[in-house]
Amino acid sequence: MTPVTRFAPSPTGYLHLGHAHSALFAWRAAQDAGGRFLLRIEDVDKARCRPEFEAAILEDLAWLGLAWENPPLRQSERMADYADALDRLDRLGLLYPCFCTRKGIRAEIAGAARAPHGPEGPIYPGTCRSLSEDQRQERLAAGAAYARRLDVAAAVARAGPLSWTDRGAGEIAAEPLSLGDVVLARKEVATSYHLAVTLDDAAQGVTLVTRGADLFHTSHVHRLLQALLGLPVPEWHHHALIAGPDGERLAKRADALSIRALRQAGKTAAEVRALAGFPD
C-alpha cells in the first residue's frame, strides 16, 4: 500500500516551528516510503480564516523545500460531504441539538458539585442530551440556535470496543468518552474539526495522520467516527510539541517564532528545518 501523508493547517495565523515539524515529518514519511504527501487547508471557520494566511502558508512551505500534490484540498469545498455524514449519524439516532451557549455551559460547570472532567478540562455536562422530545421541538419551533452534539455513550454502545495505533505509543484502547459529547456541527459552521478532519483523511486516502500531541485525545473521537461511518482507519503519529529556546510552548508566541519571522531575521531554510527538528 502506498503511504499517503498530509499536513492540514488552518489559515488562522502564520506557521510556526511546530507546524514546520508536523509538515516536515509527514513530507519525509512519504518521501522515505515512495508515498504521496498532501496538503489540506482547514478553512471551515470563515470568521477566523484569512486568505493572506493561506497564501503565507503555501509560500512558507515552499520556502522550507516541501512539495505537495496540487491543488490542495480546501475543507470549505467539502460542506456537502460533511452534511451527508451528519445525516447518516442523525439517522442512527446519535446526534442531539444542543441549545447551550458557551457562557451557559461555563456557569453550569461552575455551579455543579462534581463537573465531569476530561484531559482538556471540564467536559460538556450533557444538559441538552436529557431534554425531552417535546422540549426539543418547542425550542426548535421557536427558532433557537443550536449546535449538534454526538451522544458519545450511545455511539460507543453501537460501535463496541475500538483501538487505534500511534507510531510512538503503540496500540491504544479508544476512550472517546473522555472528551464528552463533542460538537459535530456548530451554529455558525455546519461542521466541526472532528467531523471534517475524519471525513477528509478518509476521502483523501490518508494512511498516516500527523499532528501535535496536544491533539492526541481527539484521535479517540476520530476513531469512533470512523467506526460509525465505516471509514478506513489510518495510523497516527502525535509528535511532542516543539518548545521555543526558553522552553515555552510555541503556540503562545507564534508570531515571534513564525517561519516568516525567522526567515526575515535571516535564517536559511536549512536552519529553520533544523530548528524544527529536521537537520539536513
**How is residue 127 annotated by DSSP?**
G
Residue nearest to ligand GLU (CB): 211
Burial call 96-113: b when 16+ CB within 10 Å, e when fewer: bbbbbeeeebeebbeeee
3-state secondary structure of 7: strand
Q: Using the rule CB under 6 A, is 13 a contact of ligand GLU?
A: no
Interacting span for ligand GLU (CB under 6 A) from 7-15, 153-161, 247-255, 261-269: 7-15
**Which runs of E-coded beta strand occur in 18-169?**
36-41, 73-74, 95-98, 117-118, 121-122, 147-150, 163-166
Among 3, 5, 10, 43, binds ligand GLU (CB under 6 A): 10
Q: Which of 46, 103, 187, 252 is catalytic?
A: 252
**Is the preceding omega at residue 245 within 30 degrees of 0, hence cis?**
no
Q: How far apart are CA 223 and CA 185, in angstroms?
A: 18
Among 3, 4, 5, 8, binds ligand GLU (CB under 6 A): 8
Catalytic (active site) residue 46? no
In angstroms, give the least distance from the CB of 212 to ligand GLU.
7
Which 204-243 residues touch ligand GLU, going by CB under 6 A?
211, 215
In angstroms, give the least distance from the CB of 9 to ligand GLU.
5
Q: Using the rule CB under 6 A, is 9 a contact of ligand GLU?
A: yes
Q: Using the rule CB under 6 A, is 197 a contact of ligand GLU?
A: yes
Q: How far apart are CA 84 and CA 184, in angstroms?
A: 12
Question: Which chain residues interact with ligand GLU by CB under 6 A?
Answer: 8-10, 42, 197, 211, 215
